[in-house]
C-alpha cells in the first residue's frame, strides 16, 4: 500500500513531528512509503527514505531535496525535463499548529488529497483545550473544572492552590507549570503566555490515576488499543512525553478491571463519535473516585500511539482501507445560465 508521511510544520512541536515520522517509518515496512517534509516556511520537500535521520533536518540538508507543490489530487515536483507526482494517501503526522489546528486538513481537502488524520472540525475541538471541554460536556463526558484566561485579562485566579497552568493550544506539556503558591503564579503565566495568548487553569490533583487509550473507526466499528497507565512524576512533563514520541515497543496493559476498561472504551466512543472519523486518536483520561474524566484528546498522537497496539501495521492498514470519502458539488451553471437567458444576455 502506498502512503506518504507528512511531517514537520511551523509549530513548537516541529522537532517532535520529525521524531514521530522516523519512528513510524520503522514500523511500516510493509507499506510503500514516501516522505514529505514541511519546513517552518511552509515549503514542502520530498525526502529520500535513506535521509530520514534527525541530523538531516537539523543541519538544513533537507533544503537540497526536491521541493513539492500541491496540485489536484497530489504533491508534485516539476522541472524543465521531468516531473515527480506523489499521489498516495497522506498520513498527517504534523503535531501542534498546522497539523492539529485544521490547516493541513483544509489544505488536503481543498486539493482533494486522501489522508489519514483529523478533519478540520475534529481539529477545532481537540486543538483548543477550552473547546475540548465544551465538546466533551455535550456528550456527558466529565472534565476537570477550569478557568480560562487571555493574555490581557487580570490575573485574578479563583482556583485553589495547587493548580496547573496550560497553554490552551499546545501539546507535549510545553509551557505547562504546577503552581503551588501565589508567589509562583506570575512566572507560570508568563511561561505559558510565551507560547499562547490564552491559558486554562485546572486543579492539580497529586497522584491522580491517568490512563491512555487509542483507537480508530473502521467499517463502522471502533478498534481499541490496550489501556496504558503512563509512568510519571508529578505530571507528564515535556521530557517524558518527548521520549514517548520515539517509542516503538508495545507497552504493558494497565491493571484495571474489565468493567473499568469497558467504561473507558465507552467514554472514548462518545468522544470519537463521527467527528474523528478518518483518524487514529489517543484520549488521556483521569480516574477519580471511580469516575472517568477526559484530560485531553490527541488527534495526532506521538508516533501514532503505535506502542498501544498489538499489531500496528494491521491497525493502520485497517484504517487505511476504511477512510471516509468527501463529496464535492458538481457545478453546472444552470442557474446563472437561466438568469442570463431571462435577461436576454
Q: State the span(s) of the chain assigned CATH 3.30.1490.20.
A: 147-203
Q: State the Cα–Cα distance between residues 89 and 181, nearest whole angstrom.
A: 50
Structural domain 2-116, CATH architecture = 3-Layer(aba) Sandwich (3.40)
Q: Which residue has the cell 477545532?
A: 124
Q: State the Cα–Cα distance between residues 253 and 81, nearest whole angstrom.
A: 54
Q: State the span(s) of the chain assigned CATH 3.40.50.20.
A: 2-116
Answer for the pair 5, 19: CB distance below 8 angstroms, yes or no.
Answer: no
Residues 39-57: tens digit of each pLDDT: 999 999 999 999 999 999 9
Whole-prediction pTM: 0.90
Mean pLDDT, residues 181-193 taken together: 94
Q: State the span(s) of the chain assigned CATH 3.30.470.20.
A: 124-143+207-320
> Which of 50-54, 172-176, 276-280, 323-327 shows the lowest per-residue confidence on average (mean pLDDT)?
172-176
Residues 249-275: tens digit of each pLDDT: 778 899 999 999 999 999 999 999 999
147-203 adopts what CATH topology?
Dna Ligase; domain 1 (3.30.1490)
124-143+207-320 adopts what CATH topology?
D-amino Acid Aminotransferase; Chain A, domain 1 (3.30.470)
- Give the dihedral of Cα atoms 25, 26, 31, 36; nearest 10 deg: 10
Sign of the CA dihedral running 89, 94, 95, 98: negative
pLDDT at 165 over 70: yes
Answer for the pair 123, 101: CB distance below 8 angstroms, yes or no.
Answer: yes
Amino acid at each position: 500500500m502506498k502512503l506518504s508521511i507528512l511531517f514537520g510544520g511551523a509549530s513548537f512541536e516541529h522537532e517532535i513531528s520529525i521524531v514521530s515520522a522516523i519512528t513510524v517509518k520503522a514500523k511500516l515496512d510493509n507499506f510503500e512509503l514516501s516522505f514529505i517534509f514541511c519546513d517552518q516556511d511552509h515549503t514542502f520537500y520530498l525526502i529520500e527514505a535513506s535521509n530520514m535521520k534527525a541530523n538531516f533536518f537539523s543541519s538544513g540538508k533537507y533544503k537540497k531535496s526536491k521541493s513539492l507543490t500541491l496540485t489536484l489530487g497530489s504533491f508534485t515536483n516539476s522541472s524543465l525535463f521531468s516531473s515527480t507526482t506523489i499521489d498516495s494517501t497522506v498520513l498527517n503526522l504534523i503535531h501542534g499548529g498546522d497539523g492539529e489546528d485544521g490547516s493541513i486538513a483544509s489544505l488536503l481537502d481543498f486539493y482533494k488529497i486522501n489522508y489519514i488524520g483529523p478533519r478540520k472540525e475534529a481539529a477545532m475541538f481537540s486543538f483548543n483545550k477550552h473547546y475540548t471541554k465544551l465538546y466533551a460536556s455535550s456528550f456527558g463526558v466529565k472534565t476537570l473544572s477550569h478557568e480560562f484566561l487571555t493574555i490581557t485579562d487580570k490575573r485574578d485566579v479563583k482556583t485553589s492552590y495547587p493548580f496547573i497552568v496550560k497553554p490552551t493550544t499546545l501539546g507535549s506539556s510545553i509551557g505547562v507549570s504546577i503552581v503551588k503558591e501565589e508567589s509562583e503564579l506570575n512566572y507560570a503565566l508568563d511561561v505559558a503566555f510565551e507560547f499562547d495568548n490564552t491559558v486554562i487553569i485546572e486543579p492539580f490533583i497529586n497522584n491522580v490515576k491517568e490512563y491512555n487509550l487509542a483507537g480508530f473507526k473502521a467499517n463502522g466499528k471502533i478498534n481499541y488499543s490496550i489501556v496504558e497507565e503512563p509512568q510519571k512524576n508529578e505530571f507528564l512533563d515535556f521530557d517524558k512525553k518527548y521520549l514517548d514520541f520515539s517509542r516503538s515497543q508495545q507497552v504493558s496493559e494497565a491493571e484495571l478491571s474489565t468493567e473499568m476498561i469497558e467504561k473507558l472504551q465507552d467514554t472514548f466512543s462518545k468522544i470519537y463519535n463521527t467527528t474523528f472519523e478518518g483518524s487514529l486518536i489517543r484520549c488521556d483520561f483521569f480516574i477519580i473516585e471511580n469516575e472517568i474524566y477526559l484530560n485531553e484528546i490527541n488527534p495526532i498522537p506521538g508516533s501514532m500511539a503505535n506502542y498501544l497496539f498489538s499489531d500496528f501495521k494491521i491497525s493502520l492498514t485497517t484504517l487505511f482501507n476504511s477512510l471516509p470519502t468527501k463529496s464535492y458539488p458538481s457545478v453546472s451553471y444552470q442557474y446563472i445560465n437561466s438568469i442570463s437567458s431571462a435577461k436576454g444576455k
